[in-house]
Amino acid sequence: MSQDNLKKAAARQAFEYVESLLENDSIVGIGTGSTANFFIKELGAIAQKIEGTVASSEESAKRLKELNIPVFDLNSVGEVFVYVDGADESNEYLQLIKGGGAALTREKIIAAAATEFLCIADESKLVSILGTFPLPVEVIPMARSYVGRQIVKLGGDPVFRENCVTDNGNHILDIFNLEILDPRKLENELNQITGLVTSGLFAKRPADRLFLGTATGVKTIES
């Protein structure tokens, strides 16, 4: 099965899970990326059954609106009952690397605000140690070089992502050559760097449930 079909199957399974829990006033958090896009398509079928969504990027908001699914500002909603998003890597504890699509800051905010965080991914994303995928961090533009030097002190090799401005007007550094043996510790260390807005390491708020598309079906892993 193609990688896209595995992503689609994971999104479908997550959709069925979400649908089974929905109430009329439910706010659903929506992630960013190709796997999240499969989930958005599924959600289109039940647009009338939910209150609406909050989106982690302008791109996802646009796709939702095209399907007539209401999109709200996070500040104007109460509980986000579930957040559904893809990942670039997940370990067995559902600690994630995210931000391949540069939406990591809004993704982390909605994940923090959500009661339940569902990750949807194809099987290539499950790893034993995080860090093969370069870890994205969002930085305030004027702090880019300073943040880069601090990251070098932590043992990483930061690379400026060319032609990328985030929805928040910031830049992305992708950190290569990290073997992330203690994700929570590294997330804490990155959080201390002035000018670094958000790291794509989701260890302090991991996913609660991972729907993993595999060649033998969708596996569900709970944290």
Catalytic residue, from 107, 138, 179, 187: name it: 107
Q: Is residue 99 within the footprint of ligand 5RP (CB under 6 A)?
A: yes
Of 11, 28, 30, 32, which lies in the binding site for ligand 5RP, with binding defined by CB under 6 A? 32
Q: Is residue 29 within the footprint of ligand 5RP (CB under 6 A)?
A: no
Dihedral sign of CA atoms 15, 7, 169, 133 in order:
positive
For residue 204, the tally of other CB atoms under 10 A from its CB is 13
CB 114 within 8 A of CB 202: no
What are 103's two structure tokens? 């939406």
Write the DSSP assignment of 62-93 as a string of letters.
Answer: HHHHHTT--B--GGG-S-EEEEEE--SEE-TT
Contact track, ligand 5RP, 63-92, x by CB under 6 A: ----------------------xxxx----
Of 8, 12, 35, 111, which lies in the binding site for ligand 5RP, with binding defined by CB under 6 A? 35
Strand, coil or helix: 181: coil
Q: Name the segment binding ligand 5RP (CB under 6 A); options: 63-71, 99-107, 164-172, 203-211.
A: 99-107
Q: Return all residues near 10 (Cβ < 8 A) that are at least 6 apart.
A: 35, 38, 120, 121, 122, 211, 212, 213, 218
Q: Return all residues near 185 (Cβ < 8 A) that are at least 6 apart.
A: none
Of 104, 139, 175, 193, which lies in the binding site for ligand 5RP, with binding defined by CB under 6 A? 104
Q: Is residue 206 within the footprint of ligand 5RP (CB under 6 A)?
A: no
Catalytic center residues: 107
Residues contributing to the annotated binding site: 32-35, 85-88, 98-101, 125
Residues that bind ligand 5RP (CB under 6 A): 31-35, 85-88, 98-104, 107
Residues contributing to the annotated binding site for substrate: 32-35, 85-88, 98-101, 125
